[in-house]
Chains A and B, each alone.
Chain A
Amino acid sequence: MSVVIVFILVIAGISLWWLSHQRLLSKPWLELGVDVIDGTPPSLMPTEKIGLGVFLAVVGCLFALFASAYFMRMELSDWQAMPLPGILWFNTLVLVLSSVALQIAVAASRREQIQTVRLALVTGGLTSLVFLAGQLVAWRQLNATGYLLNANPANSFFYLLTALHGLHIIGGIIGLGRTMAKAWAPAPRPRLPLSVELCAMYWHFLLFIWLAILVLFAGWAAGFVEICRQLLT
């Protein structure tokens, strides 16, 4: 459970940092008035962005728990690591492109270049679909070479984690579709920049999760854990 403990510590750190700015040492019973010195009005960050941030913390927790389970299950004797199909590197590249496209969309929406925004959103959506298709190809390749879902726990984790990650991408594509609807709506589009920004934020996070999954399955994470263990003992 070490991975999830580290994750919880990070969240606790962020929470403590935030709480430390909330005047927890103040004496509210002595303070009177509306605008208390150094008062803590709600953040100026858009509420939707904070909502997405909290949601991403939950998603991060979910994957951290899977990583914990992965490491605990890996220590048992029947574990056989699985070779990664080459297409995963291509998929990774495509997902990076998708993230880059959405970042371009964010920059363009700030400069109100609607044509660029539209192009970047479509690119982001298409590359995501290509990524999903690529993942399916990877599944088929693995199946064809005998790495079945229930043949070994390493395989089971691979299918489970890629499926879950894919489901999150699909959820994101639905959100992206709604953003596109806003981008094609007649001007003015007051809520478009925020929507685009939320999409980009979500995509960057899912890219990060995907890289983490990749590190897990490429065996680099296990090597890293081994080094840490040797340092500790």
Chain B
Amino acid sequence: MVEFTPRTTDAIPPAEVPDVELYHPHSWWTTYVFSQDAKVIAIQYSSTAMAIGLVALVLSWLMRLQLAFPGTFDFITPEAYYQFVTMHGMIMVVYLLTALFLGGFGNYLIPLMVGARDMAFPYLNMLSYWIYLAAVLVLVASFFAPGGPTGAGWTLYPPQAILGGTPGGQQAGILIMLFSLILFIIGFTMGGLNYVVTVLQGRARGMTLMRMPLTVWGIFTATVMALLAFPALFVAAVMMLFDRLLGTSFFMPALVEMGEQLSYGGGSPILFQHLFWFFGHPEVYIVALPAFGIVSDLISTHARKNIFGYRMMVWAIVAIGALSFIVWAHHMYVSGMHPYFGFFFATTTLIIAVPTAIKVYNWVLTLWRGDIHLTIPMLFALAFIVTFVNGGLTGLFLGNVVVDVPLSDTMFVVAHFHMVMGVAPILVIFGAIYHWYPKITGRMLNEVMGHFHFWVTFIGAYLIFFPMHYVGLVGVPRRYPELGETAFIPESVHTLNEFITIAALVVGFAQLVFLFNLFWSLKNGREAGGNPWRATTLEWQTPTTPPPHGNWGDRLPVVYRWAYDYSVPGAPQDFIAQNDPWPNKPVVHR
């Protein structure tokens, strides 16, 4: 061990900042509703995201019912089916995953894990949530608008997105979607500024960047990426609004619709695709990086072992973040491009496999000879590793131009991205909720319900998405509401479709058990105490649980070590908290 004597330099902030700078609420409204406490905002973000996520879950059931039993349900017309597909995709990617990882976990964990009292700009943070809520409400409103929500697909490709043939194209649907996205981006930018600046400026004394838990690294890098990627969606949305409302031709080529020449002319739908995927590809990693970070912490804590290759993990997170900005056109192989571009984007896409593989190896090596406790968070973390590897492998298929072209727009793609950015991050979210629920509420989640939830979700997800790869390889196209009598589609596909639908319904209902558990354990869960997992990171060392506004009481924590001191030989316990000066006595600071 190398030891360092404290220096008295002016550059070091005082160890104890008096708790005076926070706005302290005086009424019920400012404590629980218009709260500026990052932890309350986190719970607001998470509940809103989960509520709208439930809507998307129901939409996926309706889609699956239609695919398995076409013609059985009168209200699922082809138009309705497209609307379900679109809303399911957009809600899950943007309004659930992004909001939950960054707005939910980011808000709760960043200040606690870096040892801050709150976010850097609490008022802006509060505003961020309320604008997000407005975006969600606007989105929900489109279900009640004349013509219903847009059915353009979650990628909203023009020209079809704003033409009459697409549900909502000439009605309110697409407008509401674009307005909602613009609101979301404005709200997110406000929150994102907070997450970045808090990591930069809010760290406690001794918390160097290389001592931050990987969760913070993941959320931090993902936020930086999101701040740079969401503007692309903003630009695309604004330009499409202009095309739709003001008759410009940014994206719209000359068109004849129903025998009638439209006033558009000369625009480029490909331009939209470039803008959309310049956002859309980093978005995959915006969702994945927080999951990577959280899972590293879950594995290390529940295997009672330091994370293997911490520096490599940090570098890999940064490398993935940077690389993800130069791979976007691999979503556009079938849109037509110069072969050299295809080669370039295939190469960059495959290069991302290197830092990603480093992370997977390091997770496995962390587990190697660890004291593995198969707690529910650990089960979810393990399930994530397996699922992410599965989804990543099919990504290698699709990253290659020659393999992607025949597989493009088949159910294989649907299976791939659901595994890698649907199921995998959701498993981490569940694991993280089981892990941090005791800190948030002071009580443990019920384990029996937790085991039931885990096994049904984990096995069920594979029953849904593994057969879907086969269905795609056979050539079944995505986005078709029904297959009809098609010669190349064997009978097994129809049987599998029914099987997948039943699995999807079962998995969906298992989530109700999880929701029930969240509420039931609030009152009936086992008392957790301050640090039930015997974890090292700062959020478990707060003086009271759940932490109050301001988090730390009178004194901010002082950090003496990195975040992964588990099973240190000679230590009194099998973990040493980050603010524990062992083997030295605590130094009394000014």
Give the B-binding residues of A (Cβ under 8 A): 1, 4-5, 8, 11-12, 15, 19, 22-37, 39-44, 47, 50-51, 54-55, 57-58, 61-62, 65-66, 68-69, 72-73, 76-79, 149-150, 153, 156, 160, 164
Contacts and interface: CB of A to CB of B under 8 A. Distances in A.
A139 B286 CA distance: 39
B296 to A, nearest CB: 14
B196 A33 contact: no
Given A33-B4, A43-B200, A22 B208 contact: yes
B344 to A, nearest CB: 12
B97 to A, nearest CB: 21
Contacts of A27: 311
Q: Identify the interface centre among A22, A44, A62: most chain B CB within 10 Å of its CB.
A: A62
A168 to B, nearest CB: 13
A34 B559 contact: yes
A65 B1 contact: no
B231 A65 contact: yes
Interface stretch (B5-13, B150-158, B354-362): B5-13
Nearest to B194: A51
Nearest to B199: A42
B3 A73 contact: no
A149 B246 contact: yes
A101 B192 CA distance: 31
B164 interface: no
Nearest to B10: A44
B234 interface: yes
Contacts of B589: 34
Contacts of A65: 231-232, 235, 275, 278
Contact of B235 (A30, A66, A149): A66
Contacts of A40: 208-209
Q: Identify the interface centre among A8, A44, A57, A58: most chain B CB within 10 Å of its CB.
A: A58
B201 A50 contact: yes
Given A1-B278, A42-B200, A57-B227, 12 more contacts: A28-B208, A28-B310, A32-B1, A32-B4, A33-B6, A34-B4, A34-B587, A50-B201, A58-B192, A65-B278, A73-B250, A78-B265
B274 A1 contact: yes
Given A34-B206, A69-B250, A73-B250, A54 B6 contact: no
Given A28-B210, A77-B266, A153 B250 contact: yes
Nearest to A29: B562
Given A27-B311, A34-B559, A65-B278, A73 B268 contact: yes
Interface in B533-590: 558-562, 564-565, 584, 587, 589
B377 interface: no
Interface of B: 1-7, 9, 11-13, 15, 120-121, 189, 192-193, 196-197, 200-203, 205-206, 208-211, 224, 227-228, 231-232, 234-235, 238-239, 242, 246-250, 263, 265-268, 271, 274-275, 278, 306, 310-311, 314-315, 318, 322, 325-326, 558-562, 564-565, 584, 587, 589
Contacts of B250: 69, 73, 153, 156
A50 B228 contact: no
A50 B197 CA distance: 7
Contact of B249 (A28, A51, A62, A156): A156
A11 to B, nearest CB: 7
Contacts of A5: 325-326
A34 B560 contact: yes
A183 B247 CA distance: 46
Nearest to B124: A51
Contacts of B278: 1, 4, 65
A23 B210 contact: yes
Contacts, number: 182
B409 to A, nearest CB: 24
14 contacts: A23-B208, A24-B315, A29-B306, A34-B205, A34-B559, A34-B589, A40-B209, A41-B203, A51-B121, A54-B227, A62-B235, A69-B271, A156-B242, A164-B238
A39 B208 contact: yes
Contact of A22 (B209, B239, B247, B265): B209
Closest 4 CB pairs of A and B: A78-B266, A28-B562, A156-B248, A33-B4
A54 B246 contact: no
Nearest to A78: B266
A153 B248 CA distance: 7
A47 B228 contact: no
A156 B246 CA distance: 9
A41 B207 CA distance: 8
A161 to B, nearest CB: 11
A160 B243 CA distance: 11
A34 B590 CA distance: 13
A74 B590 CA distance: 62
Given A24-B210, A29-B562, A160 B12 contact: no
A32 B560 contact: yes
B326 A15 contact: no
A78 B265 CA distance: 8
Contacts of B235: 62, 65-66, 69
Contacts of A62: 231, 234-235
Contacts of A44: 11
Q: Identify the interface centre among A33, A43, A156: most chain B CB within 10 Å of its CB.
A: A33
Q: Identify the interface centre among A43, A55, A61, A69: most chain B CB within 10 Å of its CB.
A: A69
Contacts of B7: 35
Nearest to B15: A34
B249 A150 contact: yes
Given A5-B326, A30-B1, A156-B250, A69 B275 contact: yes
B211 to A, nearest CB: 5
Contacts of A15: 224
B274 A41 contact: no
A160 to B, nearest CB: 6
Contacts of B326: 5
Q: Identify the interface centre among B201, B560, B564: most chain A CB within 10 Å of its CB.
A: B201
Contact of A47 (B4, B201, B565): B201
Nearest to A28: B562
A31 B2 contact: yes
B95 to A, nearest CB: 20
